[in-house]
Homo-oligomer: A and B are copies of this chain.
Amino acid sequence: MSAVSQKQLAAEAALEYVEDGMIVGLGSGSTAALFVKALGQRIAAGDLSIKGIPTSRETEEVARESGVPLIPIEQADRIDIAIDGADEVDGRFRLIKGGGGCLLREKIIADAADRMIVLVDETKLVARLGAFPLPVEVDPFGWTITAKKVFDALRAVGIARPVVDIRRKQRDSLDPFITDGGHYILDCACGEIPDADAAGIALSIVPGVVDHGLFLDQARVVIVGEDDGVKILEL
């Protein structure tokens, strides 16, 4: 079975966690989009009333097309559940996210939610984080200096040879990719991150770093799409 079908199964399984009246954080990326579409179908069938908060302009678009009612985050006094994909998940439910560039809003919502549910296909499960390049969101002002500080910070937490690259709009473009918040992304190839907690703090305190793709204490449930169904892991 393809990764796409595995993602679809995970997305459908996530509907089980959504209850009537909930405020639901809607993640970004391909798997989250499958969930939003499935959610729209459930709502259209008339047996579920929820309000969604999108983590990106892209997801906002998908939600509108799928008939998922949205509220601005400023109007939410709580977020019951956040449902999102991930680029890597380790055995302690720690994540790398941000491959799609929406990590800041995803983290704000995941962190605010009572419960974060992560949807992945089997390829995203890893023994140790770091094969996927870690996205770090930075303020454009002085980003070349910030990139050097990020390199130093990664070295200081035991990553021997980090490679820090600014993300471009397209592969052959010189223009930097710009996030929904107007920031840049540095993709940091680490190989392996020996101490994710230390890395998270070291990156957060670099001036110019807005946030980073290490989600270390947010996920409570991981739904893994497999060839013949889903595996549900709960903390």
Contacts and interface: CB of A to CB of B under 8 A. Distances in A.
Interface string A190-204: 000000000011001
A-side interface mostly: helix
A139 B207 contact: no
B139 A210 contact: yes
A105 interface: yes
Interface string A49-87: 000000000000000000000000110100100000000
Interface stretch (A3-11, A14-22, A107-115): A107-115
A185 interface: no
Contacts of A139: 104, 108, 181, 210
Nearest to A200: B205
Interface in A161-195: 180-182
A211 interface: yes
A145 interface: yes
A208 interface: yes
B205 A201 contact: yes
A149 B109 CA distance: 12
Contact of A107 (B140, B200, B207): B207
Given A104-B141, A112-B145, 15 more contacts: A73-B145, A74-B142, A104-B139, A107-B207, A108-B139, A108-B141, A108-B145, A108-B207, A111-B207, A112-B142, A140-B181, A200-B205, A204-B204, A204-B205, A208-B211
6 contacts: A73-B141, A73-B144, A107-B207, A108-B142, A108-B208, A204-B204
